Structure 1
Amino acid sequence: MDVINVTADADTFTCNAYLALDGRPTLVDAGAWPGIVDRIREETDELDAVVLTHQHGDHVAELDAVIDAFDPDVYAYGDHPNRTTAVDDGDEVTVGDETFEVVYSPGHADDHVALVSGSTIFCGDVVVHDDGAFDYGSFGRTDRPGRSREELIESIERILSRMPDSVEHMYAGHGGEFHGEVTDVIETALSRAKQREPKYPGE
């Protein structure tokens, strides 16, 4: 599956927004970069769906602009005025040319989901390959109101229990994408989260 980070060149704070072109053109998260519509149009004239991992501002700020430009179906776990299809834990969604299982994964956000196929995971912010705190296995912030380290730990464990060993492509909401032994990266993140120490100094 051809996956493009369409916010890679953003000049403002945003999540990584991923465009899958093979099969059903699908955007995973809409980001917060005002240039995203033009960037998508460089790759495709059609966008069939947007799937939200969660609804923090850096993931949805440009959703209205994307909808106005392409009129896609919008899949989300949590309520949203533009949601056309609600997803729940265990549901299946098509991203590009692959079928993904929805894995409910709160802790960083109450409405967070990860998407897992036989080869790929879109993990939003629940777990990432690298960020300002750790390389090769980090996890979403849980130090703000409405977030929970304990729930996040349970979510990472749930992802590991349902993710095939064959997954070798990891697309997270922040940091770089990773191709290789994804299970090891996520197990490393889980180990760090279980230490229950502040992720960043001063938390």
Structure 2
Amino acid sequence: MEIHTVTEGTTEFTCNAYLLDGPDPVLVDAGTMQGVEDVIAERVDDLSAVYLTHQHRDHVGELDAVLDRFDADLYAYDDHPRRTASLEDGQEVDLCGEAYEIVYTPGHADDHVAFVGEKRVFSGDVVVYNDGAFDDGSFGRTDLPGQSRERLIESLETLLDRLSDTVEALYAGHGDVYRADPEGERESVRDVIERALERAERREPKYPDE
């Protein structure tokens, strides 16, 4: 299976939308980049489903365009007019032949989930590797209405509890993909998430100048 960041290189504010190119290709989040459906079509002939980490606009802005182009199913934790089926905490889903556990991770968004597999995690915005606020382990903002630092801290703890030691890659909603080194020369994904948790626990503003 190949994974492509189909929103890469855009100048628009968007999340990272990931195309999993394998048996029954799927998309994790849709982003806001106009024409993203054309980029997907350059890679695959069909798209079986879109899976949402959460429904903030930067993750769903072009969702309708993608669903219209491919007539794909939609899986989301929270209700959506075009949702095919709901996602539940602890549920196992198959993404291109690989099993992922749904982990409910609110705080940045009430409907936030992460997809935790044996090799990789699609973390949405609950934890990212770098995002302009922190390098080597950051977390989703919690200063806007409906967000909660305390719930996000609990979510990071839950994510660590449910994380397999075999996970080698972190595919976050923003910033770079993080890949650990099997030889141990780079930190593990667990190390990155633990650093994000430590920073969140300080309760300091993530963006102090705002």
TM-score range, shorter chain: over 0.9
Give the aligned residue type for 1:117.
Answer: G
Distance 1:11 1:133 in 2: 19
Q: Deviations over 1:19-43 (max 9, x none)?
A: 0011220000010011201100110
Confirm or deny: 8 A CA contact 1:13 1:58 kept in the other structure. yes
Give the aligned residue type for 1:191.
Answer: E
Give the structure 2 partner of residue 191 of structure 1.
198
Give the structure 2 partner of residue 167 of structure 1.
167
1:155 aligns with 2:155: yes
Confirm or deny: 8 A CA contact 1:27 1:47 kept in the other structure. yes
- Counterparts of 1:1-203 in structure 2, within 5 Å, are 1-180=1-180, 181-203=188-210
SS of 2:170's equivalent in the other structure is: strand
Distance 2:41 2:90 in 1: 32
SS of 2:103's equivalent in the other structure is: strand
TM-score, length of structure 1 as denominator length: 0.98
SS of 1:20's equivalent in the other structure is: strand
Shift of 1:90: 0.4
Distance 2:9 2:47 in 1: 20
Shift of 1:97: 2.3
Identity rate, percent: 60
Shift of 1:47: 0.2
Shift of 1:73: 0.9
Q: Deviations over 1:173-198 (max 9, x none)?
A: 00000100111100110010001100
Q: Deviations over 1:39-98 (max 9, x none)?
A: 001100100010000000000010100011001110000010010010110011122221
Distance 1:2 1:162 in 2: 24
Give the aligned residue type for 2:195.
Answer: T
RMSD between aligned residues: 0.8
Distance 1:147 1:137 in 2: 19
Distance 1:189 1:174 in 2: 14
Identify which range, 136-145 or 9-18, moves more after superposition.
9-18
Q: Deviations over 1:143-175 (max 9, x none)?
A: 000000000000000000001010001100000
Shift of 1:11: 2.3
Distance 2:115 2:12 in 1: 26
Distance 2:139 2:9 in 1: 23
Give the aligned residue type for 1:48.
Answer: S
Give the aligned residue type for 1:40.
Answer: I
Distance 1:147 1:163 in 2: 24
TM-score, length of structure 2 as denominator length: 0.95
